[in-house]
Amino acid sequence: MELLSIIRISKNKHIYTMKKTLSIFGLILCTSLFSQDIPFNKLYGNGDPVHYYLGHYPVANSDGLDINWYGGIKLQTSAGVGIQLLDNGNVGIGTADPKAPLDVKGRILINPELPVLGVGIKGYDTYWSRGYNFMSSDGTVNLGGFSAVGPKDKIDRLFVGKAWDDTIADFYPLDKKTVFNGNVGIGTSNIENSEGWNKVLQIRGDIHSKILASSSNVIAGLWAHNYGYYGAPAGGITGTYTNHPFSFITNGSNKMTIFSSGKITIGTAQQDNDPNFLLYVKKGIKSEQVKIEIASANGWADYVFNKNYKLLSLSEVEKHIEEKGHLPNIPSAEEVVRNGVNLGEMDAKLLEKIEELTLYLIQLNKDVKQLKEENKELKKTMNSKK
C-alpha cells in the first residue's frame, strides 16, 4: 500500500495564497517524492481534484505526467516568459498572451541537417484543412493559410489562399501541376496590366529576360533585349536555340515554318531545295501591290532598242514557232512546269517581245508609207498617159 495516496491542500480550510500553495507543492515534490522516493497518484490544489491537479497516466511500457490546471500553465526561467498555455488551448512561446493555437515570439529554427524538412498534418477522417492570413499585416505568419490536402498519406493538392475554393496558387504533386490564380510577376511586383487582361505573366530583367521551353534535344525561347541578340535588333525575339525549325500552328496544324537555313515555307513544312530562294508559299499569294527589284539595268529589256541589237526577221520568228512551238527566248510550258517562273526575269522577257513587236510595227509602218508613196506616184504616171 502506498504511503501517500492523496495530499489535499484546500484554501477553504486553510487560508493560503497561491504562492504558498505552489511552494508547498514544490516542497512536497522535492522532499517527499525525490528525497524519500515516495510514489504518488495525484496532487491537487484549490480544493478541486478535478480541475487543478498534478498526476500521471499510463502510456505504453511507461508512465506519463498529467498536469491539469484550468486557469493556465506557465513554464519560465530567469530569462522571463517561457511557455504559456492558456485556458482556451493557445500555446505561447516567448509570449504570455498567445493569439493562436501556437504563437511564437521570435524565430523558429529547424535542424538544417535533417534530409527532409517540413510540417505535416495527417488526417484520416478530414480530407481538407483551411486557414487564413498566410502573412498578416503585422508581419506574423499563420501556417493555417498554407494547406495540404489529400486522402490519408497521399497529398493530392497543396494550396495558398483563404480557402480551398479561393486560392492564390494550387500545387498538385501527383500530377506535377501548378496553377496560379492571378497575375504572376517574376523579377517584379509591379505587373503591367493597364489594359485589364484577365491574367498576366510578366518576367522582368533590367537589360534582358527570356522564357525557355526545352526537350531532350530542342530549346525554344522568347526574349526581350535592350540591345538585340543573335543578330536581331533590339526588341522582342523568338525562335530556337538549337538547329531546329521554328513553326507557327493554328487549329492544330502547321501554317508556317522557318528553317535553320533561313528558308520560310507557308502552307507546308516541306523545305524547298532551291538555294536561290528563301520563301515558298503554297497555293499562291494575293496582294494589292507587289514590287520586284531588278539587280541591274542589264536585267531589263531596253537593250532591244540598242542599234546593235539583232532583231530576228519575221520569217525567222515564224520558223522558230513552227519548230519549237513558242516564241524565241521564252520558256516552253514544260520548262515552266519543271522550273517555275522568275517573275522579274519573265517580265523582262515579255517586255523584250513587246519591244521587238514595236520595232516590227515601226518597220511595217515605214513599209506601208513607202508603198503609199509608190502607189501615189504610180497613179500620177498612169493619169498622165491618158
Residues near 384 by Cβ (< 8 Å), separated by ≥ 6? none
Nearest alpha-carbon partner for 145 in 155, 165, 159? 159
pLDDT over 60 at 264, yes or no? yes
Report the alpha-carbon distance of residue 238 to residue 256 in Å, rounded.
Answer: 14
Residues near 76 by Cβ (< 8 Å), separated by ≥ 6? 82, 83
Residue 308 carries which DSSP code? T
The alpha carbon dihedral of 376, 378, 381, 385 has a sign of negative
Residues near 317 by Cβ (< 8 Å), separated by ≥ 6? 327, 328
Reduce the DSSP state of residue 82 to 3 states and report it.
strand
User: Which position has the higher pLDDT, 121 or 274?
Assistant: 274
Report the alpha-carbon distance of residue 105 to residue 17 in Å, rounded.
Answer: 31
Reduce the DSSP state of residue 252 to 3 states and report it.
coil
Report the alpha-carbon distance of residue 324 to residue 322 in Å, rounded.
Answer: 6
pLDDT of residue 129: 43
pLDDT of residue 306: 92
Q: pTM for this one?
A: 0.52
**pLDDT for 144-172, tens place per residue?**
444 555 554 555 777 777 776 777 888 88
What value, to the nearest 5°, has the Cα angle with vertex 29 and ends 24 and 32? 100
Residue 28 carries which DSSP code? I
Report the alpha-carbon distance of residue 287 to residue 319 in Å, rounded.
Answer: 40
Lowest mean pLDDT of 126-130, 281-285, 287-291, name the range.
Answer: 126-130
pLDDT over 80 at 116, yes or no? no
Rg of the Cα trace of the chain?
Answer: 49
The number of angstroms, rounded, from the C-alpha of 187 to the middle of its chain's C-alpha atoms is 14
pLDDT over 80 at 185, yes or no? yes
pLDDT of residue 290: 87
Judged on CB neighbours under 10 Å (0-12, 13-18, 19+), 180 is middle
**pLDDT for 21-68, tens place per residue?**
444 445 445 454 444 455 667 888 888 888 898 888 899 999 998 899
